[in-house]
Amino acid sequence: MNKKNKFFSTILATLVGAAIWIPSAQAAFILDTKIGEALLPNSADATELAAMEGFAGVSLVQDAKISNQSFTAFENGAGSGQWYLDINPDTPGYFLLKFGTGNDKTIANTYFFQNIGEMTKLVWSNEQVNFLSGGGTINGNIGKLSHYVTYDPTFHQTGEIPEPATLALVGLGLFAIGAIRRRKS
């Protein structure tokens, strides 16, 4: 391989490597997984924790309970039907959203999620919460997000787990570098 080709191969490998490691801006966040919904009579911490543990199937500890005076839910793009709460730097494993439903006892008011995507954001869609976060005809307090609660498993792990796709790309890059070196010698 001549010097010119080697130079361009090195530049290309550097650019591809940088593209892998630099987070790209996303138009939409990854939706968290809805694991259940319930009509809870009140907002007692013990009632919410018991319901969350039932849906999650693991023992949990409450991380934080935030009322609607302390946060703002953002729509992720006008008309997208996707909402999020930015809770950076916290990274809970599970969370619940409690909405006002007035006296309607036919619809769930509490929705339970596993945080799987953007760990510092709680992300849901209108469909996941029966359109209580927007998109319907909502009057007064009905449909407003009352509070959210975050939970961590009792075996809370430290550090982040690498994504399999990222590890595969890194491995592929190392394989390519090795193949180029072997071909050269």
Q: Binning pLDDT at 50, 70 and 90, where does residue 24 land?
A: very low
Least confident of 5-14, 63-72, 153-162: 153-162
- Domain limits, the chain: 33-153
State residue 168 phi and psi, 5-degree precision: -65, -40
pLDDT for res 140: 41
Strands (E) across the chain are located at: 33-38, 60-67, 74-75, 82-86, 94-99, 110-114, 121-125, 145-153
The set of residues, in sequence order, having a beta carbon less than 8 Å from that of 95 and lying 6+ positions away, is: 32, 112, 113, 115, 122, 148, 149, 150, 151
pLDDT average, residue stretch 35-39: 94
Q: What is the DSSP letter of 93?
A: S
Q: Binning pLDDT at 50, 70 and 90, where does residue 1 land?
A: low
pLDDT for res 117: 82
Residue 156 has pLDDT above 80, yes or no: no
Condensed to tens digits (0 to 9), the pLDDT of residues 77-119 reads 767 778 888 888 888 999 999 988 777 788 888 999 999 988 8
Least confident of 4-13, 82-91, 130-139, 172-181: 130-139
The whole-model pTM stands at 0.65
Distance separating alpha carbons of residues 114 and 55, to the nearest angstrom: 10
